[in-house]
Chain A
C-alpha cells in the first residue's frame, strides 16, 4: 500500500535506540516466544516486549523537528527530500553548506543555534556519512546563527546548488539529488 514510500538506503552507522526500537517492534506480535519484559509501562509494550533506551539529545531534536517528514531512517514519502545517502553531498561546497541551514524548516526553526548545529551534525553523520567531504567540519552554533538569518527561494537555490555540485564533479549526476515529480493523490 505504501507505494510512495521509497525503499530508502539504511545508513550503516545507524545504531541508535531508534533502530533498536524499530527492530523490536517489527518482530513483536509473532507469538512464537514470550517477549522480553518491556521497560515501558503500557498495554501495547507489555505484549510486544519493546524496550527503549533514552535517546541522545541530538536524536531527540531530529525526532521532534525533522523525523515526522524525513523519516526514522532519513527517508520517507517521495515528496519529502531524502536525507539518507544524499544530504552529505550538499556540504561539499560552501553554497550547499549554507543551503542546509537556510532551508526554511531549519532557518525558521524555533530551536537555538546550538541545537540546530547539533541536529545538523547528527543527521549528517547518521544518514549520510559516506557523502561528507574528507575535511568536513561540523557546523558551529555561531555559523548557524549567522547563516539562518538569510531567507532563500528554496526551489531556485536548490537548483543552483545542485548545478554547482555537478559542475564541480561533487555528485555523480544531478539525478543523485533530484526530487521526484509528485502526482496528487
Chain B
C-alpha cells in the first residue's frame, strides 16, 4: 500500500506542521511516532528527509556496505521508525505505531491471509531475509508513521511484487489499516 511516495517523510512532516496548531502537543505526537529524521535535525527538514528516503547518507562519509541503499541506513531495534530494516519495501502506515507491531495487527483489525513477499538485508548480520508485507485490515487508515520503502516494488501488472495493492484479500474487510512486515525466512 502506498499513496504518493518518495517523500512520504516530507509529506508527513508537512502534515504535522500544518496540523500542529490543532493538536495538543506536537512534540508528544512526533516523539510517539518516532520519526528518526525529525529527531535528527531541525529545519530544513525536507531535503534531509528526501535524501534519507532515497537511501543516501545525509551527511559525512557515505556508507556503502550493502548493495541495498535502504540497508545502509537501516537499524534493527526500533520498529516504529521508517528505517527499521524489515521495511525496505513497506508502503503505508506502520502497524508498530498503531497499537500493533511488525507481525502484530492492532486491536479491531485482522491480518490478511494474503501478502506480497519481498526481501531485505539485515544490517547487523548482513543476511537477506524474506519479508511478508501483510496489511492489517478492517479499520480505515491508521494515519501514523507513513513510510515508503521501494526496494523491489514493481508495477501492479506484476501484482505479486507490488506494494500499492490493498493486500486485504481474505481479511474481514478490504479496508486497509496499516502495514506489517513479518519474517518469512532466511534466504539461502
Chain A residues in contact with chain B, CB under 8 A?
A: 1-5, 17-18, 21, 25, 40-45, 50, 52-57, 59-60, 63-69, 71-72, 76-80, 105, 110, 185
**With known contacts A60-B130, A63-B130, A69-B160, A18–B78 Cβ distance under 8 A:** no
**Size class of the B contact interface (CB-based, 8 Å):** 35 or more
Chain B residues in contact with chain A, CB under 8 A?
A: 76-79, 85-86, 101-103, 110-119, 122, 124-125, 129-130, 132, 138, 158, 160-161, 167, 169-174, 182-188
A17 touches B170 (CB 8 A): no
**With known contacts A2-B172, A68-B117, A42–B85 Cβ distance under 8 A:** yes
Highest count of chain B CB atoms <10 Å: which of A3, A43, A59, A68: A68
Q: Determine the distance from Cα of A1 to Cα of B168 in the docked complex, in whole angstroms.
A: 12
A52 touches B185 (CB 8 A): yes
User: Which of A3, A57, A72 is B188 in contact with, Cβ under 8 Å?
Assistant: A57
Chain B residues positioned under 8 Å from A64 (CB to CB): 117-119, 130, 160-161
B76 touches A43 (CB 8 A): yes
B184 touches A63 (CB 8 A): yes
Q: Determine the distance from Cα of A4 to Cα of B171 in the docked complex, in whole angstroms.
A: 7
B112 touches A77 (CB 8 A): yes
A41 touches B125 (CB 8 A): yes
Highest count of chain B CB atoms <10 Å: which of A2, A65, A79, A110: A2
Using CB atoms, name the residue of chain A closest to B115.
A68
Chain A residues positioned under 8 Å from B103 (CB to CB): 25, 44
A76 touches B114 (CB 8 A): yes
**With known contacts A44-B79, A64-B119, A80-B170, A55–B183 Cβ distance under 8 A:** no
Closest 7 CB pairs of A and B: A77-B170, A1-B110, A41-B124, A52-B186, A55-B185, A5-B113, A76-B113
